[in-house]
Amino acid sequence: MSKTKKSIFIVWKEYQRRVDVIAPYLETEHFYFYYPWEMKSKIFKAISYIPKTISTLNCLFKNKPALVFVQFPPTPALYAVAFYSWLTGVRYVSDCHIGVTNEMWMNWLFAKKILAKGEMIVHNAHLVQQVEESVKIKPFVVRDGIAKKEEVEIRESSLLDEIGLSPKKYVLFPSSFDKDEPLEEVFGAARLLPEIKFVMTWHVEKLSKEMKRSLPPNIVLTGFLEIGDFNYLFANAGVALVLTKNEGVQLSGMQEAMAFESPAVVSDLKTTRFLYKEFPVYVKNEPKSIAQGISYAFENGAELGEGMRELRVESEKEFYEQVTHLKLSLGLP
């Protein structure tokens, strides 16, 4: 009896919690392709697509998967997987974690046609109609899964002491420094709350020199953190600040907030209210509103933490139902 070929998941990032959580359910092996130097500038990022394409194709030919999942964007990752599919006939599934909300990636040459030739996953039901109209395919919906609490590494660490933080006294803003995030508004909120430290994670190189010079003194930049340190920092935060300017976005920081049952302050949008119901504190992307939301979250932390626990249970149930439907539809065991 021949052994069933495995499925693999291709990700052109340093780390993605969504993939780490969903991969065991899909029984896929996931591969991350990333170079530290690519964060230096957009030019370096573009150059990195060349070795990533070569490495991805080498990985695919070496592993000979029966099915390939690829996180989209970036579009060149989709190109590499589609080329392998064209050569071998292997099916592929595009996990569009932010792709369909970002026209830049969708408008690359043949991107929509390539997406339509495979299967697609989107992270919330609000994106289904958009995909049906623009790509002409009905996508699967699978929201972000949540790391199981007993599996999340929360360890003793000197990290808080090293960066001058006290447990439950700081705001964690798990930023990616992208255009969809209201960074200036967060800096304005920090100026209104000088007694509270705002901790921002991710590669500092992505911030412009002008923005770095204008940071208020209570902003703490950690740089990119290994997963253990990131978990520790999140677990000890008093408030999670999770913001976006764009509709249609599922906030990855909310998955951590649910995992650690942290009070969350979230941008008030149709999609966020649809996904997270009444459980976070909703704010406008304005300094005064953000500052007021943070103050409220600190004052009502215990009640909001209970709400995040309830939201976690509801979200986990929905995620399991969605991923089970996906597996059955793809013929996965």
- Calpha distance 6→293 (Å, rounded): 46
- Calpha distance 232→157 (Å, rounded): 7
User: Do the domains at 7-142 and 159-315 have one common CATH topology?
Assistant: yes
In DSSP terms, 70 is beta-bridged to: 10, 94
Q: Contact, 266 vs 251, CB < 8 A? A: yes
247 vs 293, which has greater pLDDT?
Answer: 293
Using 50, 70 and 90 to split pLDDT, how confident is the model at 156? Answer: low
Which listed CATH number (2.40.50.140, 3.30.70.141, 3.40.50.2000, 3.40.50.300) goes with 7-142?
3.40.50.2000
Predicted TM-score (pTM) of this structure: 0.83
Mean pLDDT of 83-93: 97
> What pLDDT score was predicted for residue 307?
95
Any idea where the domains of the chain sit in the sequence? 7-142, 159-315
The architecture that CATH gives domain 159-315 is 3-Layer(aba) Sandwich (3.40)
Q: What is the pLDDT of residues 307-322, one digit of tens each?
A: 999 999 999 999 999 9
Burial of 280 from C-beta contacts in 10 A (0-12 / 13-18 / 19+)? buried
Using 50, 70 and 90 to split pLDDT, how confident is the model at 197? Answer: very high
Which residues lie below 8 Å from residue 114, measured CB to CB, with a gap of 6+?
Answer: 78, 79, 82
CA-based radius of gyration for the chain: 20
Instruction: Give the position of tokens 């989107």.
Output: 122
Local structure of residue 146 (DSSP, 8 states) = -
pLDDT at 151 over 60: no
